C-alpha cells in the first residue's frame, strides 16, 4: 500500500479528507493514548521550500488526538482544537523523508473531547511537545454534510 492509500485508510478516524489527512498509520493504542505515524513526502500539504515548519506538528498532534477520540467514541467525531499551551519545538523544520511518531495521551475530559499531552518524535528523539484541548461541538459528521 502506498502512502496515499495509508492516509486514505486513516481518514476513517478523522473528519479531514484528501491532503489534509496528515497521518499514515496508527502505530499503537491503549485506553489512555494513541501513537500515530506521519511521513513527510513530496506532496505534504505544509511543505514549503523543501521543508515543513515545526508549527505543523500542532495539526499533526491534533489529528492524533482526534484518532484517540474517534476510537473511544466508536465513531469519527468532528472536534475543534480549542487551545495549544506549553508548546515546545526543539527543531525548526522537517525534511522530505522524515518519519514522525506522535503520541497523544488523554489526560482529562470524556470520550468525545478533552485535554491531551502530545509528544512528536523523529528517530526516537522528542522534537515537539504540547498540551492540546479538543472540544466536541455536539454535532456529528453527518450533521455537517
pLDDT in tens, the chain (145 residues): 577 777 767 777 887 877 888 999 999 999 999 999 999 999 999 999 999 999 999 999 999 999 998 888 877 767 788 899 999 999 999 999 999 999 999 999 876 678 999 999 999 999 999 999 988 776 554 444 4
Tell me which residue of 6, 8, 60 sits closest to 34, measured CA to CA. Answer: 60
The predicted pLDDT at position 116 comes to: 95
Write down the pLDDT at residue 142.
Answer: 46
Helices (H), the chain: 3-10, 56-73, 141-144
Q: What is the pLDDT of residue 44?
A: 94
pLDDT at 111: 65
C-alpha cell recorded at residue 43: 506532496
pLDDT score, position 65: 93
For residue 2, the model assigns a pLDDT of 75
> Cβ(87)–Cβ(128) under 8 Å?
yes
Distance of alpha carbon 108 from alpha carbon 92, whole angstroms: 30
Cα–Cα dist 133/128, whole Å = 16
Q: Are 94 and 51 in contact (CB under 8 A)?
A: yes
User: How many angstroms separate the CA atoms of 37 and 111, rounded?
Assistant: 22
Handedness of CA 42, 47, 49, 55 (dihedral sign): negative
Which of 57, 53, 72 lies closest to 132 in space, CA to CA? 57
Amino acid at each position: 500500500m502506498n502512502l496515499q492509500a495509508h492516509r486514505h485508510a486513516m481518514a476513517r478516524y478523522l473528519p479531514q479528507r484528501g491532503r489534509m489527512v496528515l497521518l499514515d498509520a496508527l502505530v499503537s493504542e491503549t485506553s489512555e493514548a494513541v501513537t500515530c505515524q506521519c511521513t513527510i513526502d513530496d506532496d505534504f500539504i505544509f511543505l514549503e521550500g523543501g521543508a515543513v515548519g515545526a508549527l505543523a506538528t500542532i495539526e499533526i498532534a491534533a489529528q492524533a488526538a482526534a484518532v484517540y477520540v474517534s476510537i473511544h467514541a466508536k465513531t469519527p467525531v468532528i472536534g475543534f482544537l480549542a487551545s495549544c499551551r506549553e508548546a515546545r519545538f526543539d527543531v525548526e523544520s522537517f525534511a522530505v523523508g522524515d518519519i514522525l511518531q506522535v503520541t497523544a495521551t488523554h489526560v482529562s475530559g470524556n470520550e468525545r473531547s478533552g485535554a491531551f499531552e502530545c509528544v512528536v518524535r523523529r528517530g526516537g528523539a522528542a522534537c515537539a511537545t504540547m498540551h492540546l484541548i479538543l472540544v466536541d461541538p455536539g454535532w456529528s459528521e453527518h450533521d455537517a454534510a
